[in-house]
Chain A
Amino acid sequence: MSPRSQRLFLPIAAVIVFLAAWSLYVHTAVVSAFVLPPPEAIVAALSKMVFDPKLWHHVLVTATETVSGFVIAVLLGVFLGFFMARIPPVEWAAKPFIIVFQLIPKIALAPLFILWFGFGLESKIVISAALAFFPVFSNALVAFKSIEPGDRDVMVILQARPMQRFVMLELPTALPVILTGMEVAVVLAMIGAIVGEFIGGNEGLGFLAVSYLQNLAVPDLFGVIVLLTLMGLILYALIGRLRAWLTPWHVSTNHAM
């Protein structure tokens, strides 16, 4: 088999072997199918779920929270990263807050955000943004600081205005590194939304997972996990597309998915 077809065949074969082993284990070993359902039960649960319009409402809610939180985190992270890189005293002043907010386990703040922003979408969006903020911010800060003095000189000689400098030099230089932060952030944004739904509220895939657990509908719970994984995969792939579209010139683009 050629290396090319091996690369296509091997991962598929590995997944099939894994699922078969899982199924075999559940059917033969002492583990209860109730605690660990076999894969076919999960597929059955999933195929029932996807025809329920209520499921898609929950998917939409979680997706909305995740994307909103993510977009807020990106805008805020890039904006603050740029200003702190540009005006060092701002960074010096903000340093203690940055360190403390970075060290706090943000998930522990989730109940507080529910208290402040209610049981609706808003609190989940805030938790999602709080989790997704740091990877974007710290990457943006480093990226905007790493603009080469020689490139700045070019823009000084050309008498570029601050906005032109930002659009034609600073943002394109920083984008590959910011996008790497966004890849991490988008997954964290989804975790934030789900954790928020765990704690309070009555919609979203996180809420659905909790209610399936309370009803001991374990195959359905696994179904939700599969859906969340797919959602994460789609979001991650979208960042990859964004990278190819925004930074086609950069070496990192060739390694994106």
Chain B
Amino acid sequence: MGANSTTPRTDIRISGLSKVFGSGPAAVAAITDANLEIRHGEFVSLLGPSGCGKTTLLRIIAGLEIPTAGSIEVRGKPVWSGTARSTEATRPVSMMFQEARLFPWFTVAENVALPLRIAGIDRAKRRERAHEICETVGLKGFEDHRPTALSGGMRQRASLARALVTDPEVLLLDEPFGALDAMTRDALNVELMEVCARAKVTTILVTHSITEAAFLSDSVVVLAPRPARITNIVEISFERPRDLDLQRRVEFQDMVGHLRHLLTGAAA
């Protein structure tokens, strides 16, 4: 699938994964019998309407939710052993949320450097690295600002910088640009794609935008609600690097149409 390598190793292996919230008659299946393998460096989108369990699946991979059944491994190490989250398996995993989740008591640079501070890296080193990554994501000159002084798009840049500052192996994105306007969103998606390719990071993106999924991904996992489950896995083989012109091409439109058909078919 990954256009950039021959036989990459499997980074994430999900088998027979189910998650039920609540119990008894009030129980809701958030995801049922999910099976998925994601190879190193791959960009995968989880695409589906709300209620299809895409966010739950992502949160289980992150170790934020405990699965009811099945297993999830990151680079061969199980994320959950019993009810305990494995810090070793999840250490190379980074996550970015729909809201920037920056802390207003820190400056932009301090927010970006927070993962390094928690990991015990000394002040000078983490400041240097924070400035470096701020430049990569287009935040140069904003390092000493408060997050509240930034626009929504700039906040998400800072949030992305914080997610990348530790050089993660796996990057989980929960609709990171969903609350932004279309233009900012397009621009950030292009940058995200470039940053992820350069960092060779395995990326899983949760989205309900068909265009976004088709544009960014090496493969799109289509999910359906009631019961929440994976229905299709579609490979997207447009050559990289991609730019926004790709979205005007007929093959791209066909792919979007195909994905839409799968989504509506799955929802029916």
Which residues of A pack against B, CB within 8 Å? 150-151, 153-161, 164, 168-169, 172, 247, 249-250
How many whole Å from A146's CB to the nearest CB in chain B?
15
A158 near B114 (CB under 8 angstroms)? yes
Top 6 closest pairs, chain A to chain B, by CB:
A172-B105, A249-B104, A157-B95, A158-B118, A160-B118, A154-B101
User: A154, A160, A168, A249 — which one has the most chain B CB atoms within 10 A of its CB?
Assistant: A154
Q: List 15 A-B contacts (CB under 8 A).
A: A150-B97, A150-B101, A154-B97, A155-B118, A156-B63, A156-B64, A157-B62, A157-B64, A159-B87, A159-B90, A159-B91, A164-B118, A168-B103, A169-B103, A249-B104
How many whole Å from A249's CB to the nearest CB in chain B?
4
Partner of B64, one of A151, A153, A247: A153
A168 near B114 (CB under 8 angstroms)? yes
CA distance A250 to B147 in the complex (A): 12
B46 at the interface (CB under 8 A from A): no
CA distance A256 to B179 in the complex (A): 33
User: A155, A157, A164, A247 — which one has the most chain B CB atoms within 10 A of its CB?
Assistant: A157
Which residues of B pack against A, CB within 8 Å? 62-64, 85, 87, 90-91, 93-95, 97, 99, 101, 103-105, 114-115, 117-118, 146, 148
Q: Write out the residue numbers on chain A whose beta carbons fall within 8 Å of the beta carbon of B91.
A: 159
Q: Write out the residue numbers on chain B whose beta carbons fall within 8 Å of the beta carbon of A164.
A: 118
Which label, helix, strand, loop or mixed, suits the secondary structure of the A interface? helix
How many whole Å from B207's CB to the nearest CB in chain A?
18
Given contact pairs A153-B97, A160-B118, A249 touches B63 in the complex (Cβ within 8 A): no
Given contact pairs A150-B99, A249-B148, A157 touches B94 in the complex (Cβ within 8 A): yes
Q: Write out the residue numbers on chain A whose beta carbons fall within 8 Å of the beta carbon of B103.
A: 151, 168-169, 172
Q: Write out the residue numbers on chain B whose beta carbons fall within 8 Å of the beta carbon of A151.
A: 101, 103
CA distance A150 to B64 in the complex (A): 10
Q: Write out the residue numbers on chain B whose beta carbons fall within 8 Å of the beta carbon of A250.
A: 104
How many whole Å from B34's CB to the nearest CB in chain A?
21
B93 near A247 (CB under 8 angstroms)? no
A157 near B118 (CB under 8 angstroms)? no
How many whole Å from B143's CB to the nearest CB in chain A?
16
CA distance A151 to B64 in the complex (A): 12
